């Protein structure tokens, strides 16, 4: 029987590290992102697993729906035993105070961080005869206001509430489906690079984030991926919980 992991934003950073780790754990990988990481194909093959890439602009709602319809058809097969859906893709843009936001960037960010995960989750939970686990990559920004990050904070906070609401619904319905969120903390990724290139006018805490890089405080995506995958595979992981990486560090 097949075990399949669907990962958005799998081409780089945490998404690529999660995909590699899950391939090593015996999961076939379905990547959903604009670009493809060909290394994942090699790693999956070396571990005897399948790899599929579906190119998709997650800021385009109709493209997301069309793409995930194809993904759904691939995973909803008689020989599929278990499905993971990992909403890893996200954007911190626009970085600026309210009053200086570009409407299209606000729309794109909301679509990527919140609406696309909702659409994909809604479609996947139509499956009733397989074990389905959904994991949403969230942020500490969901729990506190950060000047210049109003859209990012708001969309991640909404994603947390969506996670908790879906968990409640699945519990009420008596299904075996599980959904949780995971805050990976600060990592050495392209998103952090984007944050560091903003201006102090856009983001007053920029010096602090530049210091994270200079002082070597950013965790490697591979380190975070190992913790996340352990949580994902743990049968004791609870639905509806917003997990924090700091709770798993010594």
- Per-residue pLDDT tens for 79-100? 999 999 999 999 999 999 999 9
Q: What is the pLDDT of residue 189?
A: 65
Closest of 160, 136, 130 to residue 8, by C-alpha: 136
How does pLDDT run across 166-221, given as a tens digit for each residue? 999 999 999 999 999 999 998 866 676 677 767 677 767 777 767 767 666 678 99
**Could you give the CA distance from residue 52 to residue 73 in angstroms, rounded to a whole number?**
13
Give the active site residues: 152
Q: Give the pLDDT score at 130.
A: 93
Average pLDDT on 38-52 reads 93
Q: 25-29 contacts: CB < 8 A, separation 24 or more?
A: 25/229, 25/233, 27/3, 27/84, 28/2, 28/3, 28/4, 28/52, 29/4, 29/5
The pLDDT > 70 percentage for the chain reads 93
Please give the model's pTM, rounded to 2 decimal places.
0.92
């Amino acid at each position: 029987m097949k075990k399949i992991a669907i990962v958005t934003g799998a081409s780089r950073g945490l998404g690529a590290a999660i995909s590699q780790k899950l391939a090593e754990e015996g999961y076939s990988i379905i990547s959903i992102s604009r670009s493809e990481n060909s290394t994942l194909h090699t790693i999956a093959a070396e571990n005897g697993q399948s790899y599929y890439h579906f190119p998709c602009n997650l800021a385009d709602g109709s493209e997301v729906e069309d793409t995930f319809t194809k993904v759904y058809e691939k995973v909803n097969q008689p020989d599929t035993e278990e499905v993971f859906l990992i909403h890893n893709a996200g954007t911190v843009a626009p970085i600026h105070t309210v009053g200086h936001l570009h409407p299209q960037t606000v729309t794109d960010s909301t679509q990527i961080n919140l609406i696309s995960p909702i659409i994909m989750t809604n479609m996947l939970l139509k499956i009733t005869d397989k074990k389905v686990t959904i994991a949403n990559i969230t942020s500490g920004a969901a729990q506190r206001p950060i000047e210049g990050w109003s859209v990012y904070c708001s969309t991640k906070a909404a994603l947390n509430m969506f996670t908790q609401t879906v968990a409640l619904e699945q519990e009420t319905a008596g299904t075996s489906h599980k959904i949780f969120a995971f805050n990976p903390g600060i990592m050495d990724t392209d998103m952090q690079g984007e944050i560091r290139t903003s201006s102090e006018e856009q983001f007053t805490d920029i010096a602090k984030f530049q210091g994270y890089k200079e002082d070597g405080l950013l965790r490697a995506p591979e380190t975070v991926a190992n913790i996340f995958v352990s949580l994902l595979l743990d049968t004791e992981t609870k639905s509806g919980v917003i997990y924090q990486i700091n709770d798993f560090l010594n």
